[in-house]
């Protein structure tokens, strides 16, 4: 979770003050205080899921190849290491090099009908 409980409290206090000030203009101070208390509680509780979502978004994702076994040794083989059969194993990054995405040019379809023929047909149909 991102931040501390003080973020929740600060947000809730801000909501309390703003709600109290706005409600005091048109209500009795006791009603304004009650509404401000409800706003404090709602904003305090609403800050928890918001902080949790921000924590998930801000958390950097770790690649699976850097996972550590229970023994403390890395699970990924180092480049140039030998396989149990004795052959040389290359790094997977060299095999999966970046290739940019290329789009095929759309083919132009030749007109199946002559435009003048189409125009004559439309003229004949609109005359009827």
Model pLDDT for residues 28-79, shown as the tens digit of each residue = 989 999 999 999 999 999 988 888 888 888 877 765 555 554 455 544 445 5
d(CA 56, CA 58): 6
Specify the pTM: 0.43
Share of the chain above pLDDT 70, in %: 70
Model pLDDT for residues 77-87, shown as the tens digit of each residue = 455 555 555 55
Mean pLDDT to the nearest integer, 95-118: 80
Side-chain half-sphere exposure of 97, counting CA atoms within 13 A? 4
């Amino acid at each position: 979770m991102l931040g501390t409980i003080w973020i929740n409290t600060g947000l809730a206090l801000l909501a309390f003050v703003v709600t109290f000030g706005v409600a005091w203009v048109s209500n009795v101070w006791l009603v304004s205080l009650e509404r401000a208390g409800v706003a404090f509680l709602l904003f305090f509780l609403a800050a928890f899921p918001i902080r949790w979502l921000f924590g998930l978004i801000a958390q950097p994702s770790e690649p699976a190849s850097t996972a550590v076994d229970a023994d403390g040794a890395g699970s990924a083989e180092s480049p140039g290491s030998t396989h149990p059969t004795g052959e040389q194993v290359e790094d997977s990054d060299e095999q999966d090099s970046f290739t940019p995405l290329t789009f095929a040019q759309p083919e132009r379809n030749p007109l199946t009908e002559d435009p003048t023929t189409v125009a004559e047909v439309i003229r004949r149909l609109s005359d009827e």
